[in-house]
Structures are given as structure tokens and as C-alpha cells.
Structure 1
Amino acid sequence: MIKKVLTLGLGKVGTLVGSLLSKQFEVTGMDKQAPHYSFDLPFKVVTGDVTDIQLMEKIISEHDAVVSALPYFLNKAIATIAHKQGKHYFDLTEDVETTNYIIGLSETATSVMAPQCGLAPGIIGIIGAHLAKDFEKLRSIEMRVGALPKYPNGEMGYSFTWSAAGVVNEYINDAEAIHNGRRKQVISLQGKEAINIDGASYEAFYTSGGLGTMCETYEGKVDKLDYKTIRYPGHCDLMNFLIHELHMKDNKQQLEDILKNAKPEVQEDVVLIYAVAEGWKDGQMKRNEYCKSCAPMVIDGQHWRAISWTTAASLVAVVEMVAAGALPSKGFIKQEEISFDALLATQTGSFFK
């Protein structure tokens, strides 16, 4: 049973996660310093160092579940404490190494271990699997997601709407895919393709982590499975120049600092979610498609960017489903095994309707 939830990391996404959870649970939010917003938060806030293991053991012990909206590199320690204490664990990580570590923990877990509950990985895998389930035999699943400024400027056509560390991490690390029926690693920032959505031109390219565990799930069942990030045209070549030709992959922190300084946050953004599955049904080749453009949303009188609410709502809907018994009560939860229809039926998942 979930009654008390600890939310770690009170940036934009973590704060909205806590606010949405507080509609159904008793929530405590924690960060190294109290966040400053122009509105009152609907949950209790405490301050502390999340790297202090003794402190975190005490605080986590007082809750039924812990949700991490922290940078990916802080999640292993939190997941370890949650596993040790038998507390449900949820996070937003796109980092493959972190996820594999949590999968290892889940083998002996007495509670839920659910990383990758955000946008990509997260709901994009739920949607991809939803499109694929109608076919008697699958040929391909392709998933594309873009978190973009509504009004791009400059050659890069980008502004940071979420963690710069996360963006850099997914641009540098290799991605996973299934091509010609074979599971393989592909280089991020490669595989560039043109993509058109509602008459607008974009590009899409491989980035790490967006598929979550889908390659494992669909290996041997599909000829092609891949995930690409959507950006405005020209972005991919510039990032390849920075990361590979200038060798900035060797100094992630410097790269993050340069990008954050050059491309500050914007309030008006758009999140593009696109997925397609192809296969055979009744002896004929069929194609299922999903495309949604998500704009900023006003929730309880407050303006939230598209990246904030799509990421937060994906995670909170999964917590709702676990609390309601609609998902397993222990072990690792694969996003692609979550019913899209059931997620849409939750209070928070209905945001995607």
C-alpha cells in the first residue's frame, strides 16, 4: 500500500511530480535547498544532502515509496536504500548503466523497482508497445520524441528545457537498436533522417536510453526497432562537431556548462511524440501510427512547460497504477508491459488524452 511518498529533486519536473502526487498521497519533497516559486507548494518540503546515506536511510524509512527526479548519477544509491528497506522505487533515468544496476536489485526486491518512468524512456515505450500489439507478426517499431523550444533561434535551434546532464549523456553514450532482426549498439548522433510533422520539417537521430528495455523484450520478434530524438534541422551536425570533432565528449561538465550558457531555458516549448508500428494482420501489411504535439499546460492555476508535465504525468500515472494494484507489487516493471489504455484511465495519465 502506498500512502506516503518521498519525492527527491525539486526542479521543475520534481516539483510538478510532488504536486500531482499530493492529490492522492501524503508527499514530502526533498532537495539540497528549498525551491523558490511564486506559489505555495501543496506538499511538505525538507532540505538535506541526498548523498548522505545515513540521512537518506532515515528519511526513506518513513515513507512507502520514493520517487527520484534527481540527476541520473545519484539514483543508484537511492535505489539501493529503497531496495534494502522494501520501499517502492520510481525514477526518470535515461542512463542505461543505472537502469541495469536497478534491474539487478529487482531480482531480490520485495517492492517495485521502476526506473525509466518519464517521457523517453517511459511513455514512448508504452505507446510503441500499444501500437504493436494488434499484429499477428511484427515488422518494425519506430519511436521518435522531441523536446523543443516553440520559437527556435540560432543555428542549433535548441534551448534547454530539462537536465543538461541528461541531454549530454544521451548524445554521448551509444544507443541500442534492432536492425535486420539483430540487436546491436549504434552510435548516438548518427542515423539522421528527415521527418515531417503537421507540415513542419525536423530531423531525428539516434540517442542513448530512449528504448529502455524494449530491445530485450522484442528481440527475435521484430526486424527493426529503434528510437530517435527529434530536433530542428541542423542541430545534429553541430552537436557532432562539438562532441566528436572538438572531443568535448572527454569533458562532459565543460560541455554542459557551455550549452547551458549558450542556450538558456525557455517557457514556451513543445514536446513531439511520434511512434509507428508495422506488421501483418489478416494476411495484409498494416501500419499503426501515433502522433501528438504537447504544449505547455496550466495545472491548478500554474503554467507548466510541455516537457515538465509530459515527464511528470508519465511517472505519476505509473505510481497511481502500482498503488491501485493495476501493476505488479514487486520486482522490475518494464514500461512496454504497461497498458496505455489503463494509463490513460488514471487521474494523471488522462492528461495525454
Structure 2
Amino acid sequence: MGEAVIDTVTVMGLGKVGELVARLLSTSGFEVCGLDAADRSALSLPFATAVVDVRDGDAVAHAMRRADAVVSCLPFHLNTRVAEAAHRAGVHYFDLTEDVATTTRVRELAAAGADTVLAPQCGLAPGLIGIIGASLTRQFADVRSIELKVGALPQNPVGLLGYAFNWSPEGVVNEYLNDCEVVRGGVRKLVPAMTELERVVIGGHVFEAALTSGGLGTMCETYEGVVQRLDYKTLRYPGHFKQMRFFFDELGMRDRRDLAGELLVAAKPPVDSDVVYLHAAVGGRLRDDAPDAPGQPFRKEYVRAYEPREIDGRTWRAISWTTAASAVAVLEMVNGGELPRSGFVAQEQIDFATFLTTRTGALFAGLQTP
């Protein structure tokens, strides 16, 4: 544990997740200012707010000039300019992106030299699922496979899609259409999204899972040559991916992403009663000091279902609180000295047991397998 290095935090974007990020940071004792394109001053929020056009690079740089850290909760295509402004200003940077190009640019900034942290991909996937998966690998002498799955779903699905867009429609469309990085035979490869469909059962509930892009962050690079198989799949109710392939391919929506997002949200708007399923599995040969089956082939699993919960006097959707809490816990680890305080931080560097000891990470502790 080292002396705290972060006192003031700027949160960019006060939407579904950003407001809760700011609330959690404020509860943890940080001085917080939330920036948004809309005026939030009438909401009586427990932190300061200001109106900023996040497309204006100079305005963004000016807004973060007094901050020690910035957490970007903006749409993925706006994160790059925030990261660049933070790097120039010497401000610690955190975001929730799953966009590969954004993370590539953040890594370039870190490689150019930084006295501060640049930590993208601090949400749910990439983010928490990678932290858990990587932590499971540390119980093994030899790791053969890492299989990670996440599903953010309505608790009471209706219709053939069995889905509700509680998350960014742009993000979901990109996950379904962009190629997916995986490790096969120890080598990194790109494969089409919505392929390698499999059946998954969690707590008696049947799901289907297929490859989607962006959920692994930098893990394929980290584990290339170390594991034979590594992939990330999205969990959905049975039949979902068949309908999505019809929508994108037979109806010609693959090349009309903006329209696809509009149509899908109109058809399947957000719901209050959501659930986030998380399934991480690692297989290989356990370490000789492992408490169960030492030195033997084994498969370790971590499976959870997260539902809406009350935080700061308000009930938050499962997707909102799991994403926000993951990002804030990572910032708390940097501030507490449990993570490096400069350079690029990959999610697989983060120890899950330590993550759970933070004030905000403790929200995930004690939740049982469904």
C-alpha cells in the first residue's frame, strides 16, 4: 500500500453507468466532478457537475485541468480524444471501452511515455471477466484453455430475440459484426463473430453462447503461446443468434449499422429487471500446492448471476452497477498502490482477490453461484 495519488476525479458522461461511477467515487471519498453534454444541475446529485461538449478537445482538456484522474463513460468513438487530453495533461485515465482501435491508441500513448496510468477496458467485458479468468489461471502450473462468457439479459424475456438493449446499441452491433480475436492452437487468430455456437447451462437455465468481438481486451496477446485455446463468448437465450444472423445477413443490415441499432432498440427497449450472467472456466494442470487435485488435470470455474441492487438509495440495473463498480474498483487499486501508478494497465494484471478487498469491489463479494 502506498500513499494515495488520486484525490480529484473527473467523470466524462453521466448516462446509465457514468452517474453511478461518479456516485461510487464520491462515496469512496474522492472529490468528483461529472461532465456531460446535458445540464444535470437540477438533479441534486451528490457531486459537482458541469456542461461540456465532449467533441471539443480544448473544452475537454480545460475541464480536466484540476483532476488527478478521469474516467470516460462516453460512447467508444469519443474515448480517444479524452485519452489524448489526459495524457497531455498528466492525468490518470480509465475507460469502459471494448473498442480495439481505442485501446490500440491508448497503448500507443503509454508507449510514448507516461507518468500516469492509462487503464482502458475497465468495465464488465472486457474488464471484470478478464480479471477473474486471469486470476483463475494462477492456480495452474500449465494452462490449456481459458473460456470466458458474459450475458446481460432481461430476466423475463419475450419474443424470438429474448433480449432487451440495456447497453449501447452501437456496442452490441459491433460485437456481433466485427471479427473476434481468439487463441487456437496457441496462436492468435481472427474469426467471424456469431460463430462456434454452444449450449450452456447455468443454475438449471439453458443458454446459447457464440463468439463476439472485443470482450477479451489484450488477453490474446498476453496468453498467445501460453494456452492452446482462449475465447470470449456472449450468452443469450436459445434461438437469439439465429434471429440476429437473419437480421444482419438476409435483411441486409450488416452494412447499415446505425439503422440496425435504431431498429433493434425500438423493437427491444431497455428493461428494469435485468440479470448479468458471468461464466469463467480455466482448464489445465493444477499447481503442486493446489488444495484439490494437486498436480492433476482440472477445470476451475467461476459462475455468478448479478441482479439489480440498491446503491446510494436507488435501485440500479445489473448491467449498470456491475460495469460501474468494476471501473471504480480498478481506480481504487491504483490509488491504493495495489496496481502500477504509471503506464498501461491490462485487466489480466489485476488480482481478483485484491479487487474484492477494495471498498467498491466488495460489492461483488459474497454473491453465490446461481
TM-score, normalised to structure 1, is: 0.98
User: Which of 240, 243, 267 matches 1:238?
Assistant: 243
User: Which of 88, 99, 118 matches 2:92?
Assistant: 88
SS in 2 for 1:139: strand
Cα offset, 1:36, TM superposition:
8.7
Q: Does 1:129 align with 2:134?
A: yes
Q: Contact 2:166–2:270 at 8 Å: present in 1 too?
A: yes
Q: Contact 2:186–2:224 at 8 Å: present in 1 too?
A: yes
User: Which of 324, 329, 347 matches 1:335?
Assistant: 347
Q: Which moved more, 1:158-167 or 1:112-121?
A: 158-167
Q: Contact 1:95–1:170 at 8 Å: present in 2 too?
A: no
Please name the residue that 1:159 is paired with.
Answer: 164
Distance in 2, matches of 1:73 and 1:102, equals 13
Q: Deviations 1:190-227 (Å, cap 9, x if unpaired)?
A: 11111100111100011111001001111111011100
User: Which of 24, 47, 53 matches 2:51?
Assistant: 47
Distance in 2, matches of 1:345 and 1:22, equals 18
Q: Contact 2:181–2:231 at 8 Å: present in 1 too?
A: yes
Cα offset, 1:300, TM superposition:
1.7
Distance in 1, matches of 2:274 and 2:280, equals 20
SS in 1 for 2:17: helix
Q: Contact 1:271–1:307 at 8 Å: present in 2 too?
A: yes
SS in 1 for 2:64: helix
Give the direction of change, closer, same or farther, for the CA distance of 1:46–1:36 in structure 2 (3 Å limit). Answer: closer
Q: Deviations 1:38-76 (Å, cap 9, x if unpaired)?
A: x63211111121011111111111211110000000000
SS in 2 for 1:272: strand
TM-score, normalised to structure 2, is: 0.93
Distance in 2, matches of 1:103 and 1:72, equals 15
Cα offset, 1:349, TM superposition:
0.2
Please name the residue that 1:58 is paired with.
Answer: 62
Q: Does 1:309 align with 2:324?
A: no
Distance in 1, matches of 2:40 and 2:155, equals 26
Cα offset, 1:243, TM superposition:
1.7
Q: Percent identity?
A: 52
Q: Does 1:198 align with 2:210?
A: no
Distance in 2, matches of 1:10 and 1:288, equals 37
Q: Deviations 1:159-188 (Å, cap 9, x if unpaired)?
A: 011111111111111111011222101111
Cα offset, 1:260, TM superposition:
0.9
Could you list the runs of 5+ residues in structure 2 that have no partner in the other structure? 289-294, 366-370
Q: Say what the alpha-carbon RMSD is for the aligned residues.
A: 1.2
Distance in 2, matches of 1:245 and 1:180, equals 33
Q: Contact 1:5–1:64 at 8 Å: present in 2 too?
A: yes
Cα offset, 1:326, TM superposition:
1.1
Please name the residue that 1:34 is paired with.
Answer: 39
Could you list the runs of 5+ residues in structure 1 that have no partner in the other structure? none
How is 1:240-259 mapped onto 2 (pairs within 5 angstroms)?
Answer: 240-259=245-264
SS in 2 for 1:141: strand
Please name the residue that 2:291 is paired with.
Answer: none
Please name the residue that 1:104 is paired with.
Answer: 108
Distance in 2, matches of 1:340 and 1:88, equals 21
Please name the residue that 1:182 is paired with.
Answer: 187
How is 1:203-214 mapped onto 2 (pairs within 5 angstroms)?
Answer: 203-214=208-219
SS in 1 for 2:233: strand
Distance in 2, matches of 1:340 and 1:202, equals 26
Q: Deviations 1:65-107 (Å, cap 9, x if unpaired)?
A: 1100000000001100101111100000001111111111111
Please name the residue that 1:9 is paired with.
Answer: 13
SS in 2 for 1:255: helix
Letter in 2 for 1:212: G
Please name the residue that 2:155 is paired with.
Answer: 150
User: Which of 23, 48, 59 matches 1:19?
Assistant: 23
Q: Deviations 1:281-339 (Å, cap 9, x if unpaired)?
A: 24420111100000100012100000001000000000101111111111100101101
Q: Contact 2:40–2:50 at 8 Å: present in 1 too?
A: no
Distance in 2, matches of 1:271 and 1:22, equals 25
Please name the residue that 1:322 is paired with.
Answer: 334
Letter in 2 for 1:178: V
SS in 2 for 1:106: helix
SS in 1 for 2:23: helix
